[in-house]
Structure 1
């Protein structure tokens, strides 16, 4: 009985210690996003403006040292922007014309990052630096505010989601401050930059046969959150 009691105490202590290493919270992230578009001169894909976005979700920090944490979570983020390209009509004359597209895609993402914290720079206040990446899956796309888009050169209508690759990955860099408001409550605020690593074009090369088209996400976000 004594051994069982001691084992139970060790188990409870282990669980308590492990739980103390985790900090779970919520954040919201208003953002400015854009698309980096490139192609050879015949179709001249180029960026044509940014747009406002919004995201947020669950944040989980696992500390493996006093000032070091593995940071992940589950986030809903809005990405996109405006691009334009040159196409040729299918008529006899074959005249060229410019096509503007505004993408707005919602992603469900999992960040995989490391957070580095300074010692206190003011009472209960620390700086943090975050670096790593994120894997994102599109869950909804609109082109020019519609779930469907008719290609003006072919007159074929497709779902807007058919234009976007089924996965996205980006590099993430962030800097911010964290304030210890209470024993187990922390507030944080920071600025982050996401740079897309994956070509999200799933239509122009595959369905239209365009050569060397590249479209990638980018964005700056203001991160505001609380951890419990």
Structure 2
């Protein structure tokens, strides 16, 4: 699995280098992002349910490859923390999952024409996450800590797949500089653990980015 992760990162880097060598008419844009996420867990394990939102964070590089004036293939290389919590109905014991992934999404970006430096966009595609860290807190009644920062990496799935849908706006602030903001819903559809039953984590991202 680590070989797959290395290969994916190399592919992303190669795409950026290739795009920079293309005519600027192709419309390649490189940007930086750093923004909060709000994660939660869906459970189909009997007696265990998801227990609200927990904040996380993501940051990294963004790349948009425009193949037409208003259409682009959009990807990224991000480090994303997806936090979530479950509760056992019989004991009220809470488990907090703190999972960190290297994400390389593959989405299509559909943009409106620019008007007074402003344009809107929508995105849809597939998320690819590779687990690099997994910790867990266990809490008892009244959220009293029992154990904290337990390493659960060996019992957590390495690969996470998801469907991504989002929307936002870009505003031109310079000759080549653009600011972007919006919302992204990243809906996980693979099990985050190895074992009986299924837990799936998803998050809502409050996107902030700057393109150069």
TM-score, normalising length: structure 1? 0.75
Alignment equivalent of 2:159, drawn from 164, 167, 174: 167
The aligned counterpart of 2:66 is 63
CA-atom RMSD, angstroms?
1.9
The runs of 5 or more residues in structure 1 that have no matched partner are 1-13, 87-95, 149-158, 206-212
* Contact 1:146 1:160 (C-alpha < 8 Å) held by counterparts: no
* Alignment of 1:218 onto 2:202: yes
Q: Call closer, same or farther: CA 1:183–1:37 in 2, change over 3 Å.
A: same
Return the alpha-carbon distance in structure 2 between the equivalents of residues 139 and 20 of structure 1: 34
* Alignment of 1:128 onto 2:128: no
The runs of 5 or more residues in structure 2 that have no matched partner are 1-19, 138-146
| Structure 1 segments of 4+ aligned residues over 6 angstroms from their partners | none
The aligned counterpart of 2:52 is 49
Q: Call closer, same or farther: CA 1:138–1:15 in 2, change over 3 Å.
A: closer
Pairwise CA distance, 1:49: 2.1
Mapping of residues 79-228 of structure 1, within 5 Å: 79-85=82-88, 97-120=91-114, 122-144=115-137, 146-148=148-150, 159-203=151-195, 205=196, 213-228=197-212
The aligned counterpart of 1:32 is 38
CA deviations 1:3-57 (Å, max 9, x no partner) are xxxxxxxxxxx945157531000011211111111123xxx12111221111011
The aligned counterpart of 1:5 is none
- The 3-state SS of whatever aligns with 2:154 is helix
- The 3-state SS of whatever aligns with 1:50 is strand
Return the alpha-carbon distance in structure 2 between the equivalents of residues 132 and 142 of structure 1: 28
The aligned counterpart of 1:93 is none
Pairwise CA distance, 1:85: 2.9
Return the alpha-carbon distance in structure 1 between the equivalents of residues 154 and 53 of structure 2: 22
CA deviations 1:45-98 (Å, max 9, x no partner) are 211122111101100000000000000010111112110236xxxxxxxxx745
Return the alpha-carbon distance in structure 1 between the equivalents of residues 161 and 103 of structure 2: 9
Return the alpha-carbon distance in structure 1 between the equivalents of residues 69 and 76 of structure 2: 20
Larger radius of gyration: 1
Q: Call closer, same or farther: CA 1:67–1:61 in 2, change over 3 Å.
A: same
Q: Call closer, same or farther: CA 1:15–1:49 in 2, change over 3 Å.
A: closer
CA deviations 1:103-136 (Å, max 9, x no partner) are 011110101000000013x401000001101110
